[in-house]
Amino acid sequence: MKSHIDRARWTVAVAVGLGLTLVGACDMNKQLLQPQQPGVISPSDVVGVTGAEALRTGALGRFRDWTVGGGNNNQENMVLETGLFTDEYKSGDTFSQRNSWDQRNVQSNDAVVSPAYTTMQQARGGIQDAILALQQYVPGTPSETGQMYFLLGYTEMQLGEFFCNGIALGYTVNGSPNYTQPLTNQAVFTVAGTHFDSALALTTGTDAFSVQIHNAAAIAKARNLVDLGQFTQAAAAVAGVPTNYQFTMTYAQTSQDNDIWIMTTNVRRYTVGDSFDIVNGATNIIKNALPFASAGDPRVPVTGATNNFATKSFDGATAYVGQALWGRDDPNVIVSGIDARLVEAEAKLQAGDIPGMMVILNALRASTQTLGVYKVPVMTALATPGNATDARALFFREKAFWQFGRGIRMGDQRRLIRQYHLTQDNVFPTGVFFKNGTYGTDVNFPVPDVDKSNPNFTGCIDRNA
């Protein structure tokens, strides 16, 4: 895992929008950075305050690359890939890899997953370089270091949510790789948790930036605690986060587009998922899939319809349903106060307090909420489910619609197996696959073979949820 920063990564227009308590998301200044010499720059060549800040900017750019800014119409990021693996999107493409993700039958030598995984691991290295430089040269601004620890923990948390057991978390130190043993996902979440704790400890100031990063780290820590099954602690972690807070990554047409827009609206390789599709002219019900395309839910606005073939996807055969949440340079939410409330609602569910869960869910629906720049209108209140099974189903449906397209759905589906004791064929899309055959049984992505450069790694420990 390289910790060097190549020239392309230095051409960054990074703007992290941070929602304040009573206003919408605000953006940090966009920064454009070029190295003095072309090619590859070692962190040891970057010294002083300016160099440390440059590494921080580069780390923000690397983080954006693996979330929803990186990639193009031939190479997307892991957030999008997991959306296709779950029920959020389905493949409107001819690429065998994208069809295999959609079918849940992924190989460890997948040529598109490998670079997306590597981008996440390289982001970890770049963030770690920035942390070391900030600690050495900018010790008077601990909140900036806290911001980096938040990005580091978040990247590690999502590695654990996306991939099989067996992830190594090494770094390159002074140009030499520091190979580590593969870890279980629980161990990865534990490592991520220590970094969220560092972020929180470094952002105790009362200035706006410190408060903003502290809120982001609190939400991420809570999500990580949920991954670990610590629901009461998770709810406590977000108790002070306002509902209208959001931390977003922003884009500019002059530098880098929102990759969701690229893969959906621009090239139509992804189409919004549904609870049914059309196979040989007949309706095929997809077991477990949510009707994102056909529900008419204002949290996932769409164009087109699953059974309307007037507009087709890239493959020329699949009906195209476009998402209307993100335009070419619209921001993407990383964490939000809505996430905080959903953590609290799940803690109520876990405690058997279904009425308490419904108070939280209906409070979200009772007010206009903001997702990036998109305004979700007030929605009708939901009736209280009569039993725990129905309450669980309703909660995860609400969660899926609030958090659509943000890389959270896959972790939730894995938790339904791991924590709620469902089987994969009662969680993930199952049955006839619309591009021939049937859905597979994968519940995660395998760590790619590219990691076999680490002599300690020989493949996934297991493919369990």
What's residue 173's pLDDT? Answer: 81
User: Which tokens is 456 given?
Assistant: 């300690």
How many C-beta atoms surround the C-beta of residue 294 within 10 A?
Answer: 17
**Domain-located, residue 306:** no
**Domain-located, residue 161:** yes
Strands (E), 244-342: 246-249, 270-272, 276-279, 282-285, 302-303, 322-323, 332-336
Q: How far is CA 431 from CA 49, 274, 284, 447, in A?
A: 57, 14, 9, 26
> Is 70 exceeded by the pLDDT of residue 430?
yes
Helix (H, G, I), strand (E, B) or coil at 172: strand
What CATH code is carried by the domain that includes residue 151? 1.25.40.390
**Domain-located, residue 340:** no
Assign 26 a pLDDT band (cuts: 50, 70, 90): very low
Tell me the one-letter amino acid at 155.
T
- Residues 138-179: tens digit of each pLDDT: 999 999 999 999 999 999 999 999 999 999 999 888 788 899
- Residues 405-419: tens digit of each pLDDT: 999 999 999 999 999
Domain that holds residue 189: 7-248+410-453
- Residues 82-122: tens digit of each pLDDT: 999 999 999 999 999 999 999 999 999 999 999 999 999 99
For residues 16-23, average pLDDT: 33
**Domain-located, residue 292:** no
> Is 50 exceeded by the pLDDT of residue 33?
no
> Is 60 exceeded by the pLDDT of residue 32?
no
For residues 317-335, average pLDDT: 97
Assign 23 a pLDDT band (cuts: 50, 70, 90): very low
Assign 46 a pLDDT band (cuts: 50, 70, 90): low
- Geometric angle at alpha carbon 451, from 446 and 456, rounded to 5°: 105
**Domain-located, residue 431:** yes
Q: Are the CB atoms for 269 and 261 separated by under 8 Å?
A: no
Q: How far is CA 358 from CA 236, 248, 291, 395, 400, in A?
A: 18, 27, 22, 9, 16
**Domain-located, residue 46:** yes
Matching residue, tokens 């790789």 = 177
Matching residue, tokens 């619609």 = 401
What's residue 52's pLDDT? Answer: 96
**Domain-located, residue 233:** yes
User: Which tokens is 375 given?
Assistant: 């305004």
Assign 254 a pLDDT band (cuts: 50, 70, 90): confident
**Domain-located, residue 268:** no
Q: What pairs with residue 271 in β-bridges?
A: 90
> Is 80 exceeded by the pLDDT of residue 403?
yes
> How many independent structural domains does the chain possess?
1
- Residues 268-319: tens digit of each pLDDT: 999 999 999 999 999 999 999 999 999 999 999 999 999 999 999 999 999 9
What's residue 44's pLDDT? Answer: 60
Angstrom distance (rounded) from CA 14 to CA 18:
13
Angstrom distance (rounded) from CA 244 to CA 441:
38
